[in-house]
Amino acid sequence: MSGEIKILKREHPDSLGASRRVGTVLTVRNSTRQSRLSRVRWLMIMMGLVMVGWPSAFGQDLPAQEIMRREYFVSRVKDSKSEATMTLINAAGQQRVRRMVSLTKLQDNGVSQMRLARFLYPPDVKGTATLMIEHTERDDDMWVYVPALGKVRRLVSKNKSDSYVGTDFSYGDIIGHKVEDYSHRLIGLEIVEGMECFVVESMPVSDRVRREGGYGKRISWVRKDNFVSPKLEGYDLHGRLFKRLLTTDIRLVDPTLGRWQPMRMEMINLETGHGTILSYDDFKANAGVQQTIFTTRYLEKEP
């Protein structure tokens, strides 16, 4: 069985009034064998496209290190001022509520952050304050002020894995885990809260990072659209699932730089059944926070 398709030559005037040829004579003779070969070639082309396109669809064109770098920066605004409520929930469901104010500011390098937080309620923690200053080339600085002691206590790197003022967050969770302290590997794509996410496994690059951070492995679910993590899991030094962080009510707080902030963060300790919910009641980005605030002297001021 064969057929012939012809497209005839014809003259067509161009915009200058001259004539030009458009079209050619095309003769296609189809045989059963040619038709089969065409289908085979088409299938091979499509398979090739799928194979070439798959890494991009899976996110292979964006290295895991870059995914986590973007995740690290996505909530780093120039500065911020916030009021928040912390709800501590024990395994029996009993709750304790704390209220606090926080100030943050990026340093001149645009990477390292300074963070000061002060508790306002209840009376047993009122006045307790923390100051954390990140550094790229050396250990971060951390201090805590406890009114009952009347002095500022300096923390060391090994304290990063300690509970942050009795909550389920650690000091390391609050100040943030540096991207370069971990090796990152893309292990999949999953849907979380209706959004497609990269799933990235992060392993400490050294025993020191393991000990100080308190995590033997971290798994992050990073949204493909804005690089916010709606879910993170931390494994202890023995490889057991230890903590899970869930973030919701994610808002665009700086449209110019594309900075996002979860307004609700729930950290669950899977070993104890205890949990802490951090909810921002008010959050202002780029509020004009002064750098002179981030000192131990200011830390000692009563609210």
Most confident of 26-30, 157-161, 277-281: 277-281
| Every domain range in the chain assigned CATH 2.50.20.10 | 64-299
- 50 confidence band (pLDDT: 50, 70, 90): very low
Between CA 169 and CA 266 the distance in angstroms is: 9
Look at residues 251, 253, 280 and name the one whose alpha carbon lies nearest to residue 264: 280
- 46 confidence band (pLDDT: 50, 70, 90): very low
pLDDT of 31 > 50? The answer is: no
The whole-number average pLDDT for the span 108-121 is: 96
Using one digit for the tens of pLDDT, what is the confidence trace for 170-186? 999 999 999 999 999 99
pLDDT of 21 > 80? The answer is: no
Using one digit for the tens of pLDDT, what is the confidence trace for 247-258? 999 999 999 999
pLDDT of 36 > 80? The answer is: no
- 265 confidence band (pLDDT: 50, 70, 90): very high
Between CA 145 and CA 295 the distance in angstroms is: 12
- 37 confidence band (pLDDT: 50, 70, 90): very low
Which of 3.90.550.10, 2.40.30.10, 2.50.20.10, 3.40.430.10 would CATH assign to domain 64-299?
2.50.20.10
